[in-house]
């Protein structure tokens, strides 16, 4: 099942739900207010431009980068590493266009800090390919014409990939549920669901149509 922003539990890391984020911000404000009189706030602040060195394992290869702690995984993947298959759309955990896999599970990259992803296996759309050869889910999307404008397609593909890694033979209802965290403004859902079913079939047949 796609673990969308409202479905993640407190120990489902990395990533944070919108509800959890708002709760943490509120809690942080209370702590800041309580510390203000003691002068402890200044010591706890992170200086603008402060950086950390991270090693992120992306698509099977370690990538050493220098990043600001506030940078999202989406920003690092696209702007620092140039893996532009991961799309930025709503940038607030609502549409799913930025979906990547973290330890094999679909996650919104816009809602995950890069520092949270260190020590985990990250897979982007590019990581599903074997050189120039499409992965089975990508192949199925092409065969079923499962897109119109195509902007949401990378996130849809990653959500299907995550679903099939967990459940290689999903029912149509399980497919619908697994893709419920990904929005398609063109409403190509029927083709997307068909592509997910075909991808499962291709996996069973070793990738052969």
Question: For the chain, which residues make up each domain, given as ranges?
Answer: 52-204
pLDDT digits (tens, 9 = 90+) for 147-201: 999 999 999 999 999 999 999 999 999 999 999 999 999 999 999 999 999 999 9
State the CATH class of domain 52-204.
Answer: alpha beta
Angle between the 189-204 and 136-143 helix axes, to the nearest 10 degrees?
A: 130
- List Cβ neighbours of 23 (8 Å cut-off, separation of 6 or more): none
pLDDT digits (tens, 9 = 90+) for 2-58: 444 444 433 444 454 444 444 444 444 433 333 344 333 344 455 667 999 999 999
């Amino acid at each position: 099942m796609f673990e969308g922003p409202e479905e993640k539990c407190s120990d489902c890391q990395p990533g944070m739900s919108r509800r959890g984020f708002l709760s943490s911000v509120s809690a942080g404000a209370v702590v800041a207010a309580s510390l203000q009189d003691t002068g402890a706030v200044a010591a706890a602040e992170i200086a603008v431009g402060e950086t950390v060195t991270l090693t992120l394992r992306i698509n099977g290869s370690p990538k050493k980068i220098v990043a600001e702690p506030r940078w999202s995984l989406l920003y690092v993947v696209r702007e620092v590493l140039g893996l532009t298959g991961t799309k930025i759309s709503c940038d607030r955990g609502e549409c799913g266009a930025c979906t990547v896999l973290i330890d094999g599970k679909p996650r919104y990259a816009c809602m995950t800090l890069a520092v949270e992803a260190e020590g985990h296996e990250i897979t982007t759309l590019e990581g599903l390919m074997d050189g120039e050869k499409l992965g089975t889910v990508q192949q199925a999307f092409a065969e079923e014409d499962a897109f119109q404008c195509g902007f949401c397609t990378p996130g849809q593909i990653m959500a299907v990939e995550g679903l099939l890694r967990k459940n290689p033979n999903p029912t149509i209802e399980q497919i619908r549920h697994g893709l419920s965290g990904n929005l398609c403004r063109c409403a190509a859902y029927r083709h997307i669901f068909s592509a997910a079913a075909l991808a499962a079939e291709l996996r069973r047949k070793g990738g052969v149509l």
